[in-house]
Structure 1
Amino acid sequence: MEREDLLRKLNWFYSLEVSQTELYLAQSKKFKGSYESIVFERTALVEQQHVERLTAVIRELGGEPHIIGDVISPLFGGLLGRTLAFTGLKKTLQGNIKIENKAMADYVALHKEVGAEFGPELQAVLQHNLVDEDVHTAWFARRLEDYELLGIED
């Protein structure tokens, strides 16, 4: 894989992670006072760590995070977070699962494509971010299952 192609793909992840940070912060505010609010806030912190890790990797490769990730992604993430939250908690969890599944699929694809070509540090960042996305998905799915089993409506 060429360095420029890798930088383009890493910037995609950078933009995605910036959006996810804002998405979960918006959801945390919408469901303020609930257990889910705390989970969304903590999830946003993990997503922010992804942003920071990807920023470091992009810069180590001689690039800079794209401005679209700095300007458009936060706006999009916040808007999507508020929109999903408006539909109720169950739909919010369902939407979050879809977003996290997309992120996981993209991380798996890039991890396979990059291989060991750019060193173990990049592999570790991709794997760690993938694990975090998987944990988020599992929590959202479990919470959704709890609501469905208990017959809780929004």
Structure 2
Amino acid sequence: MKITSNTWILGLCFVLLAGSTFAQQASQSGQKVIDLVVGTWQISQVFDGKKQIQSTSDTLIHTIEFTREAKYITRNNSQKLDSGLFRINENHKILYLESKNNANGDAHPVEWGLSLQGHILTLTGRGSPHAERFKYIYTRKSGTKKMGTE
């Protein structure tokens, strides 16, 4: 009976050690989401709930650019609409945008659920029932998804 308990404890330790080693290797070889979003993204679709909002010439030209310095700029055609700082919660895949236009500092950063698959970036509203209805799908316009190359 004592051998079985020791064997079970040894096996559990082995599983925990192997899992820890695998997680460390995955994080060292994988890239962070914050590095993968760097570049310019052009809006391709907008949804209000499950209904796709019809695109207009204004929405088709809408872009968002993320820089390596953790700054963002949104543009419509060539006109700058907004800019500021961004950060990402890697574990929960949440994007936070803090606008420069909020000079008085009383507003909180705007939260977006973030999904990144290849050259498709999806942002879903968070924080209020109204915001949660909306989903924005962007395609990569410039930049690459590999860190260090553009």
Shorter-normalised TM range: under 0.3
TM-score by length of 1: 0.24
TM-score by length of 2: 0.25
Higher helix share goes to which structure?
1
Higher strand share goes to which structure?
2
Task: Using CA pairs under 8 Å that are at least 6 residues apart, name the structure with larger relative contact order, 1 or 2.
Answer: 1
* Larger Rg over CA atoms: 2
